Structure 1
Amino acid sequence: MAKPATLVLGALCAFALHLGGVAGSPLSRRAAPTVTLDDATVTGVSAGSVSKFLGIPFAQPPTGQLRFQLPQPIPAYNASFSATAFGPSCPQQAISLPIPPGLVAETVDYLTNTIYQVVTPSSEDCLTLNVVAPADATPESALPVVVWIFGGGFELGGTSTYDGGVIVNRAIELDVPAVYVSMNYRVSALGFLASQEVKDAGVGNLGLQDQREALRWVQKYISAFGGDPTKVTIWGESAGAISVALQMVTNGGDPEGLFRAAFMESGSPIPVGDITHGQKYYDAIVEQTGCAAAADTLECLRGVPYDTLMDAVNNSPFIFSYQSLILAWLPRVDGVFLAEDPQYLVEQGSVADIPFISGDCDDEGTLFSLSTLNITTTAQLAEYIQTIWLPAAPADTVTTLLELYPEDITQGSPFDTGILNALTPQFKRIAAFQGDAVFQAPRRFFLQQRSGKQNLWSFLSKRLKAVPVLGSFHGSDILNVYGPGDMTDYLVRFVSNLEPNGDTGISWPQYTTEAPNMLTFLDGLIPLEVGQDTYRAEAMAYITNVTLTYPV
């Protein structure tokens, strides 16, 4: 009999094939599909029961003087073109994954080649999107639409990693046909440059602005592919899920008719500070590109050669650097897209009044704690939290946090693994804290704030617990939905009916403060059960109060 880790890794390899499209449907012999956009005929690719239109520009290229500018609408299409290949990803920040002893080599390969892959080719001319529709869809079909926003720590990622055909084919099989859209958006410094100069120019959060522009494109053009612009669900994972949440809280909570529902995997409105908190990273890039003496440093950066700029960007801390989830480049309060800390906006009721689903993996923090294995004592951990996470907080705040996240390795993450997976005396403790601070606590806060105001569902993925060191790690739930898996069924039904339940899987009850129900995805003979979102209640409530008071 295969060992549990072998079974897990076999599943991961199969997942990699699905992401790359190797396991997708063979191309049929039917004629290439076409759609009309303005005065252009756009030719796509036939793939079994679906049609794919790939690499369609949705905004003007953000190059030259449009670098570090808001996305500009694309002019009317007036020349026919082929949409048969993914467009390049937006410029990627270089990363490396720390490889500790005990992390199985196949697991490392999986992480670096799929979820945290630097997607190539890349180019500044990257604002394209993809549409996958049932092959028999027509402009009169008026099918619901799901828009995917990829994750990658706001530092990397692209659309070519994900096969939207998996989603559309399953929707067809369940008799809830839908249209799938995915878009590229600017990441790292090109998408989330942060400083006083950026704030003054009103060009913060460009990656989120790119997403918003893509959603406007969907409103204008999706009916040509058989989609209904009034039935759009936005869906994302990790940074993509955080993006979905921020699309919900911007603009006073008015979605402008751009979407009617949201599905978030491992991402919620996170506590972030003012955009000037990124000043030191901006100043470093300005210095390294030779722009420090310029009268207008932001304008100077627009003219810096691409390779010179990216060399400087790649010197910034990345998601697997020592400071880990305290990212250099991420959404921040800019006064335009985000008027205040997103969690304050939630408290104020600045939230789109739409049904939504939000969930996490059980061990969100393990992957991001591999870069701090040199922390082996409580004193060192206290210093790390004080200097990296909470530099403005009093020391007794850190002391309380350490009491709520004790050194006992049996209480750390990967949770429910006893004395196993303790790479260091502090690894599981750090992983528990980081996973709750960035993922679990913000999700619970969001759900509790919105309970009774709109229809809510939540989930917890405890699958892949047998993965050494990482457990049910961040990103592992993608296997449930792009696999395809049982989460796919809930997703496509939610997209179609604003209700995830149907005739497969168990009934998924709504989440309320009085009954904080969570659909739990499990390994083993019982793959699904309904649990309660009550774990680590005191610790998460304290973390929420602390991060609201001292945002990064």
Structure 2
Amino acid sequence: MHFSYIPLALAELAALSRAVPTSTVPASLSAPSAAAPPTAPTVRLDAGIFVGASEGPANKFLGIPFAQPPVGDLRFRLPVPAAPYAGTYNASAFGLACAQQNDTLRVPPAIVSNVTQFLGGGVIAPSGEDCLTLNVYTPANVTRGAKLPVVVWIFGGGFEFGGTSSYDGTAVVATSVKMGTPVIFVSMNYRLSLFGFLASKEVKEAGVGNLGLQDQRLALHWVQEYISAFGGDPAKVTLWGESAGALSVALHMTTNGGDAEGLFRGAFMQSGAPLAVGDISGGQADYDRIVADAGCAAARDTLQCLREAPFETLLQAANGSPALFGPSALNLSWQPRVDGVFVTDVPQTLVKQGSVADVPFVNGNCDDEGTLFSLATLNITTDAEVKAYLQSNYLPEASSSQLDKILELYPQDPAQGSPFGTGTNNTLSPQFKRLAAIQGDLVFQSSRRFFLQERAHKQPAFAYIHKRFKATPGIGSAHITDIISVFGGTDMTEYLVNFVVGLNPNGPGLLGWPAYSTAAPRLMTFLDGPVPLNITADDFRVEGMQLLTELQQAHPLE
């Protein structure tokens, strides 16, 4: 059976945030710029004056460098803090996004118009290596000593693409002001694809693994040093992320023996939790290919040779890597791995060992996490092909009987597949709904449930399931649909603001959100229709997720 596709080039996976188009400036703002109009908001950092922009109830300070440009000999090295600021800087436009890996979402013609409308709208800045900047959104009338709570956003994109310009923090700040509990919103760029997650024995020996996570950590230290100048309280920081951003938040919780170093006091994770990923040497084949493509195979120090290679050569090599929306789907080439420094063991093993920051957290999923990632495999149409795909792509060491058990627990019956609850609708191919169910549970749902079951009796925890946009043809309540809700000034935004302010999502005018209990686990459920909120049990596909968790832990993703 043959299926045709219409390729949709994506600038960014999470382009659902009602981004506001902006002009851009170079990421490193080392040269003082011309003075802005006297009505523009300003803030002093060290001996520097940053001139931002006003947008209704919020002031924006954009493109502030928090690290030295990771170029030249600083490429593939740990981030270095920016030098003390001096002079006057234009902070009214985003800096460069970090270098992007190209990707294409392959969509069947029957649903292309729906998916295009669903995904459209995001704006991403031009990209490059000089990209380590962050952005601060404050209420318009905030003063330096206000000590407002702070939420720090980490975007998603499979660690391959994405940028802060696609996420306008104005709605979050505006909602918080309207609620009478104002907060400050911060977002940061971090290195992506091979620039941020190069993996090999050479990388491990040099201690430069997971550079994207190290970039994020440095940005959190910047917040501690400078956020008070914007009216924020460095003691009241909440980490917030989606997809790769949520996984990043989870890794900040599990790194450093669970010691948060005072960098954050709460965590809000959308579609991401600690995964079972293996050693950084698992990326050796991709590293060797990059080395060969860059003409560095004969070099004595291949890593240093890569530092000296032309940027365009490395970018071309990155674009030749398997991509998030390709057939390998959620088996990523460039992702966090065990490096012995930031990630000292398999993340789910760290959770079992108690290496988790003791902070309240929220962890949730969209109902149909796997649909977007299953559109590229509509050519898989038989049970045997599903089994072979799972073994070759995710579980190469699993036994035949274990794989058969997965197929038994996730049957071919479309009524039991994803988009869930849609009967035989959305059967784009004979195995599409089955694969979507398996992939969504393998990477997203099972890891969330594992994390909550391990930690909810030890620290305050809340969980949700997002079932809005269920009627979207083909993909249902797909991965990233909850971004629309939380960035859109809805009830979900209010729950977020409440959590940032008081480490509990509950507040006036909202349905009570129960803490997660391992004995009787319940989920805040976001719904379409006249009853938009409900409390439901976290008791679906228990046996299937338990098996997937066991197999992940026995055979971590390489």
Equivalent runs, 1:164-313 vs 2, <5 Å: 164-313=169-318
Give the match's secondary structure for 1:19.
Answer: coil
What CA RMSD, in Å, does the superposition of the two structures yield over aligned residues?
1.3
Q: Which residue type is aligned with residue 49 of structure 1?
A: P
1:144 to 144, 149, 152: 149
The secondary structure found in structure 2 opposite 1:160 is helix
Is the 2:17–2:167 contact (alpha carbons within 8 Å) kept by the matching residues of 1?
Answer: no
Report the Cα distance in structure 2 between the residues aligned to 1:21 and 1:227, rounded to whole angstroms: 26
Q: Residues of 2 paired with 1:81 and 1:172: CA distance?
A: 27
In structure 2, C-alpha distance between the alignment counterparts of 1:152 and 1:378, rounded to whole Å: 30
SS of 1:79's partner is: strand
1:143-187: per-residue Cα shift (whole Å, max 9, x none)?
A: 000000000010000000111011001000001111110000001
1:154–1:188 Cα contact (<8 Å) kept: yes
Quote the offset at 1:409 in angstroms: 0.9
**8 Å CA contact retained: 2:95, 2:125:** no
After superposition, where does 1:308-347 map in structure 2 within 5 Å?
A: 308-347=313-352
1:274–1:334 CA contact under 8 A, matched in 2: yes
Tell me the residue number matched to 1:75: 83
Instruction: Indicate whether 1:34 and 2:42 are aligned.
Output: yes
Equivalent of 2:70 in 62, 76, 81: 62
Distance (Å, rounded) in 2 between the aligned partners of 1:66 and 1:415: 47
**Residues 20 and 67 of structure 1, relative CA distance in 2, 3 Å threshold:** same
Partner of 2:12 in structure 1? none
Is residue 202–residue 334 contact of structure 1 (8 Å, CA) maintained in 2? yes
Aligned to 1:5: none
Q: Report the Cα distance in structure 2 between the residues aligned to 1:234 and 1:175, rounded to whole angstroms.
A: 21
1:371-450, aligned counterparts within 5 Å?
371-450=376-455
Q: Structure 1 counterpart of 2:175, which letter?
A: R
Normalised to the residue count of structure 2, the TM-score between the two structures is 0.93
Residue 520 of structure 1: CA displacement?
A: 0.2
Report the counterpart of residue 18 of structure 1 in structure 2.
Answer: 18
How big is the shift at 1:104? 3.6
Asked if the contact 2:426–2:433 (Cα under 8 Å) also holds between the matched residues in 1, the reply is: yes
Aligned to 1:101: 109
Code of the aligned partner of 2:177? I
Q: Distance in 2 between matches of 1:163 and 1:113?
A: 12
Deviation, structure 1 residue 492: 0.5
2:38, 2:373 → 1: CA distance? 46
The verdict on how the C-alpha distance between 1:201 and 1:310 changes in structure 2, with shifts beyond 3 A counting, is same
Name the CA distance, whole Å, in 2 between partners of 1:406 and 1:61.
50
Q: Report SS of the residue matched to 1:133.
A: strand
Match of 1:460 in 2: 465
Counterpart residue identity of residue 286, structure 1: V
Deviation, 1:111, is 2.3
Distance in 2, Cα, partners of 1:436 & 1:237: 16
- Shift in alpha-carbon separation, 1:347–1:429, aligned structure 2, 3 A: same
> Hey, what's the Cα distance between the residues in 2 that align with 1:399 and 1:16?
37
Is contact 1:21–1:163 with CA below 8 Å preserved after alignment?
Answer: no
Indicate if the aligned counterparts of 2:78 and 2:208 stay in contact, CA closer than 8 A: yes
SS across alignment from 2:54: strand
Q: Note closer, same or farther for the CA distance 1:481–1:301 as it changes in structure 2 (3 Å cut).
A: same
**Which SS does the other structure have where 1:154 is aligned?**
coil
In 2, Cα distance between the equivalents of 1:181 and 1:101? 39
Superimposed CA distance per residue, residues 196-240 of structure 1 (whole angstroms, 9 cap, x where no aligned partner): 110111100000000000000000000000000000000000100
Residue 109 of structure 1 and its aligned partner are, at CA, apart by 4.8
Moved more, 74-83 or 180-189: 74-83
Q: Which residue of 1 aligns with 2:507?
A: 502
Q: Please give the alpha-carbon distance, in whole angstroms, between the structure 2 residues aligned to 1:357 and 1:277.
A: 31
Within the alignment, does 1:87 sit opposite 2:104 as a pair?
Answer: no
Contact 1:30/1:46, CA 8 A, preserved across alignment: no
What is the alpha-carbon distance in structure 1 between the residues aligned to residue 350 and residue 16 of structure 2?
38
1:217 & 1:120 partners in 2: Cα distance? 22
* In 2: Cα distance, 1:385 partner to 1:18 partner: 36
> Aligned to 2:362, what secondary structure does the other structure show?
strand
3-state secondary structure, aligned to 1:40: strand
* 2:127 corresponds to: 122
CA–CA distance in structure 2, aligned partners of residues 273 and 194 of structure 1: 11
1:99 and 1:108 in contact (8 A); partners too? no
Q: Counterpart in 1 of 2:61?
A: 53
Distance 1:233 1:358 in 2: 13
Q: CA deviation at 1:386?
A: 1.1
Post-superposition offset of 1:72: 0.5
Instruction: Name the CA distance, whole Å, in 1 between partners of 2:120 and 2:104.
Output: 8
Q: 1:19, 1:482 within 8 Å by CA — same for their partners in 2?
A: no
Q: Give the AA of the match of 1:354.
A: V
Counterpart of 1:551 (choices 544, 552, 556) is 556
SS of the residue aligned with 1:98? strand
Tell me if structure 2 keeps the 8 A contact 1:55–1:86: yes
Runs of 4+ in structure 1 over 4 Å off: none
Q: 1:242–1:267: 8 Å Cα contact kept in structure 2?
A: yes
Q: CA deviation at 1:112?
A: 5.7
Matched residues in 2 for 1:113 and 1:294: separation? 44
For residues 504 and 282 of structure 1, the distance between their equivalents in structure 2, rounded to whole angstroms, comes to 53
Q: Partners of 1:139 and 1:515 in 2: how far apart?
A: 44
Aligned to 1:12: none
Give yes or no for contact 2:18–2:166 (8 Å, CA) kept in 1.
Answer: no
SS in 2 for 1:335: coil
Shift of 1:403: 0.8
Q: Secondary structure at the match of 1:431?
A: helix
For structure 1, which segment, 102-111 or 310-319, has the greater mean C-alpha deviation from structure 2 after superposition? 102-111
Q: Which amino acid aligns with 1:38?
A: D
Q: Given the alignment of the two structures, is residue 486 of structure 1 paired with residue 480 of structure 2, yes or no?
A: no
Query: How far apart in 2 are the matches of 1:373 and 1:538?
Result: 26
- TM-score, normalized by length of structure 1? 0.94
**Secondary structure, in 3 states, of the residue corresponding to 1:69?**
coil
CA distance in structure 1 between the aligned counterparts of 2:549 and 2:38, rounded to whole angstroms:
55
Q: Distance in 1 between matches of 2:492 and 2:265?
A: 20
The corresponding residue for 1:519 is: 524
Alpha carbons of structure 1 residues 178 and 479: separation in structure 2 relative to 1, 3 Å = same
Cα drift, residue 356 of structure 1: 0.3
Are 2:16 and 2:484, in contact at CA under 8 Å, matched by a contact in 1? no
Deviations 1:324-348 (A, max 9, x none): 1000000000000000000000000
Report % sequence identity.
Answer: 57
Aligned to 1:541: 546
1:537 partner amino acid: V
* Deviations, residues 247-294 of structure 1 (Å, cap 9, x unaligned): 000000000000000000000001100001111111111111111111
Q: Deviation of residue 321 (structure 1)?
A: 1.4
Structure 2 equivalent of residue 7 of structure 1: none
2:10 corresponding residue in structure 1? none
In structure 2, list runs of 5 or more residues that go unmatched: 1-14, 23-36
- Report the residue type matching 1:551 in the other structure: P
Cα displacement (A) at 1:79: 2.2
Q: 1:17 to 1:472 in 2, by over 3 A?
A: closer
Give the letter aligned to residue 217 of structure 1.
W
